Amino acid sequence: MSEHMLLAFDDEAPLAQALAYALDVPLGWVRCHRFPDGELRLRLPDNLPPRVLLLRGLQQPNEKLVELLLCAPAARELGANEIVLLSPYLAYMRQDMAFTPGEVVSQRHVAALLGGLFDAVLTVDPHLHRVRSMEELFPGRRGVALSAAPLLGQWVAQQLGEPVLIGPDEEAAQWVSVAAQERGLTHGVGHKRRLGDHEVVLELPPLALQGRAVVLLDDVASTGQTLIAAAQQALARGAASVDVAVTHALFVGDALQRLHEAGVRHVWSTDAVPHASNAVSVAPLLAQAVRELWGCE
């Protein structure tokens, strides 16, 4: 029996299969049944090797957190003694302070929960802002944050040559500067104030956009409002085209449609979150990081 196994859920099958292939490890499935009252029954392979990698992205996170709460101790009962959580999208990272008195700092408590369940946590472009590193987020545990920004930078340069890259807000600076560096692209970040779930006020950086191909680059698109506001402004300032590249394509409800209605041409995302817009795979990036974590490289 192999020393390693990748465990995954069937709604993330394409990424799981690519990863298992790249890592050359057996792939086991977590089978999931939801009872009429909403409770979950999970079933893991009944005999696990010592080192288990559990793939579970936390898009639509609440039920998935319960899955993790159940899976991690069960995997240890079934033979695993080291469990790495591979969560390409780590949810609850944006609430990193109490913005009003009494507000729960979800980032801290979700990280404490995961740190208690897993020996290591690996993710892609987590929304770290005031808490700056995975070490700070998971004290005493191994935490690895990978970035898809170089891959997105290469992708947009291949598609468009020399677009102007814009991050809609200051928090996107970390990804935009890395993506732009790949091909020395002109780049900048805007300034954003969020007034509510579906309302943002935004100002793009003072770059010359007239006649240019503009790519809006961000870590996550949720309601799409941030990107819609940025796209409308770029077009009003004379951009020849506006495309979007994001690591995590959440696109809730009709966000994608509204983005196109606002004038966005292409929407490209990574497969960190399964979505119709996936154009760039993070599987090789993840596989390399797992090999390093397991000391296989």
- Interacting residues toward ligand R5P by CB under 6 A: 127, 168-169, 171-172, 200, 218-226
Q: Three-state DSSP class for 285? A: helix
Active site residue 64: no
Residue number with CB closer to ligand R5P (49 or 233): 233
DSSP 250-262: ---TTHHHHHHHT
Q: Of 45 and 168, which has the nearer Cβ to ligand R5P? A: 168
Q: Which is nearer to ligand R5P, 172 or 239 (CB)?
A: 172
CB atoms under 10 Å from CB of 166, counted, come to 28
Q: How far apart are CA 291 and CA 286, in angstroms?
A: 9
Q: What are phi and psi of 139, to 5 degrees?
A: -60, 135
Q: How far is the CB of 127 from ligand R5P (least distance, A)?
A: 6
Q: How far is the CB of 235 from ligand R5P (least distance, A)?
A: 18
Give least dist CB 201 to ligand R5P, A: 12
Tokens representing 252?
């809730």
> CA nearest 285: which of 52, 22, 4?
22
Residues 6+ away with beta carbon under 8 Å from 247? 124, 125, 148, 149, 152, 175, 218, 219, 220, 269, 270, 272
Report the residue number, 223 or 277, with the smaller CB distance to ligand R5P: 223
Closest separation in Å from C-beta 78 to ligand R5P: 37
Exactly one of 64, 187, 192, 275 is catalytic; name it.
192
* Catalytic residue IDs: 192
